[in-house]
Amino acid sequence: MSTLEERMNELKAQAKQNKFTKFEDFTPAESEGILTSVCWAVIEGAPTPRVLLTAIEDETWIDDTAGDKLLQLAWQAPTKGGASEPVAALANDGKRVQAYDLDPGSPHEIDRLPEAKLLVDLIRLQREPTFKWSIKVYGQLQRGFDNFHERVYSSVRDTVDGKNHIIDEASKFLFLEQFRLRHSDKEKEFKYEGKKLTLDEVFRPEPFFEGTKAQQEEAVTKVRAAFVAFRGHPDYKTTDDEGNSHDIFSERVHLDLSVPSNYGTLIKLLQDLPPLTDNQDKPILVGGKQKQGTLADIAGDVLGRAFDVFLRHKFEKEGIGIYLTPAPVKRAMVEMALHDIERFDHENLTARDADGRPSFRMCDPTGGSAGFLVALLPALRRLLDQMNLVDEERERLWNDMLEHSFVAADSSARMVRLARLNMALHGAPRAKIFNTSTSLLTDLLKPNSFDLILTNPPFGAPKAKTAEEKKSVAELMAHFRTDIDFDALKGKGGLLRPSPTGLAMGANPNNKDVWKEKESGVDLSVLFLDRCLQLLKPGGRMLMIVPDSILCNANTKHVREYLIGKKDPKTGEFHGGKAIVRSVISLPADTFKLSGTGAKTSILYVQKRKADKSNPERFADEPQTDVFMAVADTLGYSVKNNTEVYDVPNELVPIAGAYRRGE
């Protein structure tokens, strides 16, 4: 087993191979079991951005929070001579060496450390004045959310029906605190038993710990009344394409917690933050006194990140991970999609439609907690920061995109509430996230509307036992036959006529390519694949988690042919399909193990074919090019005792890197 010094020497040797020539060791505040150093190079007389080198004694240190840990260490690096904080890191915990992009909005693994002269490309965000303070608060909030969750679930029981209900309640308190901090005194007024109260008066921890039991219970009643008063505020409404308004919380939603001490504990967590300091640890003064920090002072989307991690981990532990795709998978899908959009379609990012709204739109029709949207936000923002735009124009475009460009839907009202709040904490309180009975049929999602779809739809055939359920499934299947021309064969079946707005998977062909109606037995993932192709604009891109059965089973051959067309035996080219397959990446069997399934899945990346210029109702006959294929055996963790243990490499990182480089 190597020593700390040997691990650090290994890191320095790798840095030297990448043309870094200057090194400076330093000691962080928590230095037990850790050695740290920074390195940089001097090119044409100017120093490059710096890299943090960290040798760790603990062989399980590299996990899904390693990026945040390294970011906190990076902020402690010496800054003499005006040097900036490290923008990237190399970490060695004895099991592996891993590189990280220390992007403040979303620190994450990268497949390799760039050479010194290329490292400047990692600088994508300007440092915010309170970012260092925000990182400290991030850790405090993360621990506080977890402790509150366990408190209500196991020790101070309350009127909730499970772990997910506790998450739901915490989200409502976050909403109230955000509302309290961001609205005027007048807007925070509400009526209670004929009297006028303000949110500032009632939403504080002291009343829930002081006074008589009756007074504490009345404090609960007042906060409940405040929630009812503010839950439908217009700042948190979104409008669909039909002009209909949707609230973040419906009139049926109330605060369900009832134990006063739980109210006080959660409010104290959200309000009892450390005094505000700048990135040099100097107090930020207001009126000659150090300002008390609040959630409104947290830089960027740090608060949203804290909530998203809390939400993802707690839901996965309860086995509802069908909604919550593992972070390594989301990051790889986002990285591949944005690489191609930047390379081939970058003009779409800055275009506007006839009404002046941003033209670029992204959708997840099975949105869950908005995990894909949240994963896309910082990466897309970094991409815009690199584009040649005037600062004011960039900010105006980004703010418009936050309101109009991100769309999701889900059949669970609870998940939609969590998704809306998740997006609000990331700066998008009006994001277009809708509650639907099924995204397969809703008119809220329009054909030919989206440039990018990232999604992980449900798998399995719709269950139909009763006569009513069977009728419902039959009606669903009938909806998915618009691309089948039944008139062509006069009632003996139909012929497939693929169109940019059509659907076909409610039928399947016989060995003579005659398509017959099918009223049951179609996997939902097949229907969602069909639906997502319909929703994409011609030329739009989709990355979807699919069961491997779609890709290789004999009974799904017609799905693959519908997707890319049939192969010409003479030329080897594919003709007649709706899309071009860009990539297929096989995922390990334990990807969704925490969700209770070992189903074998893959990332399917396709691009919808462009429409024929002479006939927009038909597709242009574009050639299917080479397909990038890879197998990820591990995602950075293994599942042991129903817990993610970060003891293996995340093979999606080098795979995504190889895709970007065209290897």
Q: What pLDDT, in 10s, does the model give residues 554-606?
A: 999 999 999 999 988 888 888 889 999 999 999 998 888 766 677 899 999 99
Q: What is the pLDDT of residue 642?
A: 63
Both 516 and 528 in one domain: the answer is: no
Element containing residue 641 per DSSP (H, E): none
User: Whole-angstrom Cα distance, residue 660 to residue 655?
Assistant: 9
Name 551's Cβ contacts closer than 8 Å, sequence gap at least 6: 560, 584, 602, 604
Buried b (16+ CB within 10 A) or exposed e, 490-514: eeebbebbbbbbbbbbbbbbeeeee
Confirm whether 310 is domain-assigned. Answer: no
pLDDT band at 312 (very low <50, low <70, confident <90, very high): low
User: Whole-angstrom Cα distance, residue 640 to residue 649?
Assistant: 16
Both 453 and 362 in one domain: the answer is: yes
CA dihedral sign of residues 355, 356, 361, 366: negative
Both 118 and 10 in one domain: the answer is: yes
Among the three residues 305, 329, 360, which one is the final residue of a domain in this structure?
305
For residue 78, give its domain range.
4-122
Name the DSSP class of 122: G
Name 204's Cβ contacts closer than 8 Å, sequence gap at least 6: 267, 271
Both 546 and 418 in one domain: the answer is: yes
Confirm whether 438 is domain-assigned. Answer: yes
- The string of pLDDT tens digits covering residues 614-634 is 999 999 988 898 999 999 998
Both 286 and 380 in one domain: the answer is: no
Both 395 and 478 in one domain: the answer is: no
Instruction: Give, in order, the Cα–Cα distances in Å from 168 to each of 105, 175, 294, 542.
Output: 24, 11, 22, 30
Q: pLDDT exceeding 70 applies to what percent of the chain?
A: 93
Q: pLDDT exceeding 90 applies to what percent of the chain?
A: 52
Among the three residues 85, 103, 122, which one is the final residue of a domain in this structure?
122
Both 207 and 276 in one domain: the answer is: yes
pLDDT band at 321 (very low <50, low <70, confident <90, very high): very low
| Structural domain count of the chain | 4
Q: What is the pLDDT of residue 43?
A: 75
Q: What is the pLDDT of residue 125?
A: 32
Both 74 and 49 in one domain: the answer is: yes
Q: What is the pLDDT of residue 648?
A: 80
pLDDT band at 128 (very low <50, low <70, confident <90, very high): low
- Which of the two residues, 210 and 324, has the higher pLDDT score? 210
Confirm whether 313 is domain-assigned. Answer: no
3-state secondary structure of 322: coil
- The string of pLDDT tens digits covering residues 42-95 is 876 667 889 999 999 988 888 888 998 999 899 899 877 656 789 899 999 998
Confirm whether 294 is domain-assigned. Answer: yes
Q: What is the pLDDT of residue 82?
A: 59
Element containing residue 19 per DSSP (H, E): none
- Of 115-129, 477-491, 567-581, 592-606, least confident by mean pLDDT is 115-129
CB neighbours of residue 457 within 10 Å: 23
Average pLDDT for 204-228: 95
Average pLDDT for 182-197: 94
User: Whole-angstrom Cα distance, residue 52 to residue 300?
Assistant: 22
- Which of the two residues, 422 and 525, has the higher pLDDT score? 525
Average pLDDT for 281-310: 82
Both 338 and 479 in one domain: the answer is: no
Pull the structure tokens for residue 506. Answer: 């409610």
Pull the structure tokens for residue 563. Answer: 């997707």
Asked if pLDDT for residue 313 goes beyond 70, the answer is no
Looking at every residue in the chain, the average pLDDT score rounds to 88
Both 382 and 511 in one domain: the answer is: no
Pull the structure tokens for residue 645. Answer: 């243990």
Q: What is the pLDDT of residue 320?
A: 42
pLDDT band at 551 (very low <50, low <70, confident <90, very high): very high
Among the three residues 496, 522, 548, which one is the final residue of a domain in this structure?
522
Q: What is the pLDDT of residue 108?
A: 87
Name the DSSP class of 567: E
For residue 647, the domain's CATH number is 3.40.50.150
User: Using alpha carbons only, what angle is made at residue 18 by residues 107 and 48, rounded to the nearest 5 degrees?
Assistant: 65
Confirm whether 79 is domain-assigned. Answer: yes
Q: What is the model's pTM? A: 0.82
CA 265 centroid distance within chain? 29
Confirm whether 78 is domain-assigned. Answer: yes
Confirm whether 139 is domain-assigned. Answer: yes
What are the start-end ranges of the H helices in 85-212? Answer: 131-150, 163-182, 199-202
Confirm whether 315 is domain-assigned. Answer: no
Torsion of CA 332, 594, 363, 302, to 10 degrees: -70
Both 387 and 468 in one domain: the answer is: no
Both 182 and 286 in one domain: the answer is: yes
In 281-352, beta strands by DSSP E: 285-286, 289-290
pLDDT band at 452 (very low <50, low <70, confident <90, very high): very high
